[in-house]
Amino acid sequence: MYSLLTLMLLSCNQDPIFHAVSQEVKPRNPRAQGSPTSIALLYRSHEFPEGTDNSVPVMYIASNKIQWYAQPDVPDTSGSSWNADMGNLWWNTDKGSIIQPGGQIIGLAATDEYLYVMYRNKVLERIQKNGTPDEQWTQIPIDTNDPVLNDTLTFDSIFSCNNRIFIGARYTPKTGAIPYSILYVNEGAVPGDDIIKSIKSDTFLLEGVAYNGSNYYLCLGDKYKPGGSLLELNATAFPAPTSNDLTEIINTDTKNPAIPFMSIISLEDDDTGVDSTIIAMDRPGILYIIDTAANTFTAATKKGTDTVLKMGTFNGFLGLWRDPDDSQWDPNDLTKLPKPILLLATYQGSTSQTTTGYTNGYFEFDLVPGGPNGKFDISAGDFHQPGVPGVNGLSTIIDNNNERYQSTIGKYPITSMYQTPKNIDDRMTLFASTLVAGLWSYRDRDKIPQWNAEE
């Protein structure tokens, strides 16, 4: 009997499923529940001490209401393990306080001057950075002379890029095979003159906007049929761009001219500041590099091979991760950013034969120097799971515990991610908005670094 029990225990100890279970952590209750929006950063004016105006960086997120996150004047340093009491020092304090808007929010975005909330029923509202905590939200009017905006449109997506607001809108009900329009907020001579106008109609859904230091790059995809596009928007066209200022970027693979893209990002890697690398990704998770000089895009391949750099099913968000301990940080000006170390891409899979039975979460891609003007050599990087360091030897999982990652955030589809600026949180906490499980963060809890719901 003793021998049989011993064999059973040994078998259990060697089973990877039991090992994965041992890495699970106590679940927390999310402060922002359900399906939170992406996070928006606004440098909010705040009086402290009395009579002195300071610009304070504040992160905003919305689920059933808007919540905000800012560094307390006297952070709790009694211990490193995060809990709800510590969260109350950082979340929804007087610093960054705003009045709640009305309606169901589907998107947040911010520029240097405003925080925007978007509703599906063709409504965009904002507050000023220097407004009082009880300032009312102001609706941005639409251009009533624009026939596109007089149609039955709903707002689907919103993006802030290089201090400009872009909106993806669609016709309701669907009136054609390609029912989307690209909109923007036209900045008037004075703030009260701002208005929503269209750049292009009869196109695909706007899925992302990036800026390389000279021009804007828009990625589009279609929910109704296969197809999509990449467009370049001449930055000199502002403040009043039109469809004539858009140039289609052509796929070098002529057999697949219309790729339905899901996200686009600037890698912020050009030392001259005028031609940073622009990366886009499609649903299968293939990386595409835009050649801004030739107006073409090409699937990225591993160095010295024809093997396409492919993650697997992409869930629609690309983000950058910087090392909080990078020696290039300037302690006198934390707004000066060192180059990113990792590209983060959200992943959507299904139940599979893994140690946990889940394949969701996100992947990491190493950003390796080696290109011209300090840019990255994309062919030298590759995808890997969090907790499995790649070429750069770093991961967002600081203890390289991939099993704990898989048993926590790896279970959930992620809709967006956000790394806290260093001038808010010295450790640059990484947040993730999940599809159904609320807002999560990667922190020390119970003296263990872990992904868990943000309390």
CB 418, CB 68: distance < 8 Å: no
What's the confidence (pLDDT) of residue 49? Answer: 57
pLDDT at 178 over 80: no
What is the distance between the alpha carbons of residues 339 and 268, in angstroms, rounded to a whole number? 7
pLDDT at residue 221 is higher than 50: yes
Read off the pLDDT of residues 344-355 as tens digits, 9 standing for 90 and up: 999 998 644 444
Residue type, 58: V
Per the model's pLDDT, the better-predicted residue between 47 and 234 turns out to be: 234
Q: Which amino acid is at 113?
A: E
**What per-residue string of b and e applies to 225-255 under the rule 16 or more CB within 10 Å gives b?**
eeebbbbbbebeeeeebeeebbeebebeeee
Residue 179 has a pLDDT of 82
Banded model confidence at residue 331, pLDDT cuts 50, 70, 90: very high
CB 26 within 8 A of CB 446: yes
Q: Which two tokens stand for residue 285?
A: 């998770």
d(CA 280, CA 217): 10
pLDDT at residue 437 in the model: 95
The token pair at 38 is 């992406």
What is the Cβ-side half-sphere exposure of residue 197, based on CA atoms within 13 angstroms? Answer: 16
Of the two residues 150 and 96, the one the predictor is more confident about is: 96
Q: Give the integer Cα–Cα distance in Å for 395 and 117.
A: 33
pLDDT at 78: 53
Q: What is the pLDDT of residues 28-60, one digit of tens each?
A: 999 999 999 999 999 998 665 566 667 899 999
Average pLDDT over residues 316-325: 97
Cα–Cα distance, 108 to 159 (Å, whole number) = 8
Residue 386 pLDDT > 50: yes
Dist. CA 195–CA 138, nearest whole Å: 12
pLDDT at residue 7 tops 80:
no
Higher pLDDT, 225 or 205: 205
* Pair of tokens at residue 137: 């939200």
pLDDT at 51: 61
Q: How far is it, in rounded angstroms, from Cα 362 to Cα 317?
A: 9
Which pLDDT value is given to residue 53? 62
> CA 110 to CA 9: how far, in whole Å?
55
- Going by pLDDT thresholds of 50, 70 and 90, the confidence category of residue 12 is very low
pLDDT of residue 171: 83
Q: What is the pLDDT of residue 8?
A: 41
Q: Which backbone phi and psi does 439 adopt, to 5 degrees?
A: -85, 130
Q: Give dist(CA 384, CA 323) in Å, integer.
A: 17
Average pLDDT over residues 242-251: 94
Do 119 and 106 touch, CB atoms closer than 8 A?
yes
3-state secondary structure 383-413: EECCCCCCCCCCCCCCCCCHHHHHHCHHHCC
The neighbouring-strand residues paired with 278 are: 266
Mean pLDDT value across residues 402-406: 94
Residue 419 and residue 430 in contact, taking contact as beta carbons nearer than 8 Å: yes
For position 355, what pLDDT does the model report? 42
The total of other beta-carbon atoms located within 10 Å of residue 313's CB is 14
| Region for 330 from its dihedrals, namely left if φ exceeds 0, alpha if ψ lies in -120 to 50, beta otherwise | beta
Least confident of 111-120, 131-140, 181-190, 422-431: 181-190
- Considering only 26-40, 138-152, 239-253, 259-273, which range has the smallest mean pLDDT? 138-152
**Residue 166 pLDDT exceeds 50:** yes
Task: State whether residue 372 is helix, strand or coil.
Answer: helix
Question: Does 439 score more than 80 pLDDT?
Answer: yes
Q: What is the pLDDT of residue 359?
A: 81
Place 76 in a pLDDT band, splitting at 50, 70 and 90: low
Per-residue pLDDT at 55 = 85
- Mean pLDDT (the chain) is 88
Least confident residue range of 14-28, 78-92, 326-340, 362-376: 14-28
Q: Which of 146-155, 262-271, 325-334 has the lowest mean pLDDT?
A: 146-155
Non-local (6+) Cβ contacts of 125 within 8 A are 101, 116, 117, 119, 137, 138, 139, 140
Q: What is the mean pLDDT of residues 253-275?
A: 91
Q: Residue 258's pLDDT is what?
A: 80
Residue 143, pLDDT score? 92
Alpha carbons 368 and 24: distance in angstroms, whole number: 33
Domain boundaries, the chain: 300-455
Percent of the chain clearing pLDDT 90 (strictly above): 71
Give 181's pLDDT tier (boundaries 50, 70, 90).
very high
User: Residue type at 152?
Assistant: T
Type of residue at 382: D
Q: What is the DSSP string of 297-363?
A: EEE-B-TTS--B-B-SSEEEEEEEE--TT-TT--TT-TTSPPPPSEEEEEE---S-SSSSS---SEE
Q: How confident is the model at residue 5 (pLDDT cuts 50, 70, 90)?
A: very low
Element (H, E) at 208: strand 205-211
Which band of pLDDT confidence, cut at 50, 70 and 90, is reported for residue 10?
Answer: very low
The pLDDT of residue 349 is 81
Per the CB < 8 A criterion, the answer to whether 446 and 400 are in contact is no
pLDDT tier, 176 (very low <50, low <70, confident <90, very high otherwise): low
Higher model confidence: residue 191 or residue 416? 416
User: Are the CB atoms for 233 and 241 separated by under 8 Å?
Assistant: yes
Q: Which distant-in-sequence residues (6+ apart) come within 8 Å of 264 by Cβ?
A: 207, 208, 209, 210, 217, 218, 219, 230, 278, 279, 280, 281, 318
Q: With 90 as the cut, is the pLDDT of residue 25 above it?
A: no
State mean pLDDT over 232-239: 94
- Cα dihedral 269, 270, 273, 275 sign: negative
